[in-house]
Amino acid sequence: MSGDLSELYQQVILDHNKRPRNRGKLPTANRVAHGDNPTCGDQCSVYLRLDPGIPGGAERIGGITFDGSGCAISQASASLMTTLVKGKTAAEVEAMFKDFHHIVTTGQAPEEISDLAAFAGVHTFPARIKCATLGWHAALNALKGDPIPTTTESHTD
């Protein structure tokens, strides 16, 4: 059969799965959320630090990491997500997720979007959409969640 997994596992996905970016805990995180996708067995935790923006402006993501296990789609999507949302506001991340959700549910990518389009093949495998969006949901939940105490006790360094 054509249109199979070889199309689904695009180069970007393979690369992020093989060499995940921003993987592990973020010691300075002040937001954390966990997501899991029981239908596939995927797990994903997102750690991020919201920094104050310019006075009167929105907070921005100063740092973000993810940790988890599961299929290539879920882990690669979380890895790619962390590379795209750093420096963004919660509203900007929500807008990016809307674009990404459109890509994975329709297979159609807006022109200005690059690496996210690698996941367009997911739309032919509806069961995998939850894999692709797992990390994004965790990140959005982390952004909406309450602050957690940071593990750094002081700023003496």
Binding site for Zn ion (CB under 5 A): 40, 42, 71, 74, 131
For the CB of residue 106, give the shortest distance to Zn ion in the complex, in Å: 20
Cβ nearer to Zn ion, comparing 86 with 101: 101
- Residue (of 109, 54, 61) closest to 82 by Cα position: 61
Alpha-carbon separation of residue 149 from 37, 88, 153 (angstroms)? 27, 22, 9
Collapsing DSSP to helix, strand or coil, 61 comes out as strand
Cβ nearer to Zn ion, comparing 30 with 74: 74
For the CB of residue 153, give the shortest distance to Zn ion in the complex, in Å: 38
Cβ nearer to Zn ion, comparing 50 with 131: 131
For the CB of residue 6, give the shortest distance to Zn ion in the complex, in Å: 17
For the CB of residue 91, give the shortest distance to Zn ion in the complex, in Å: 28
- Residue (of 119, 142, 145, 132) closest to 37 by Cα position: 132
Q: Is 82 exposed, middle or buried (0-12, 13-18, 19+ CB in 10 A)?
A: buried
Torsion of CA 119, 124, 125, 128, to 10 degrees: 30
Cβ nearer to Zn ion, comparing 124 with 152: 124
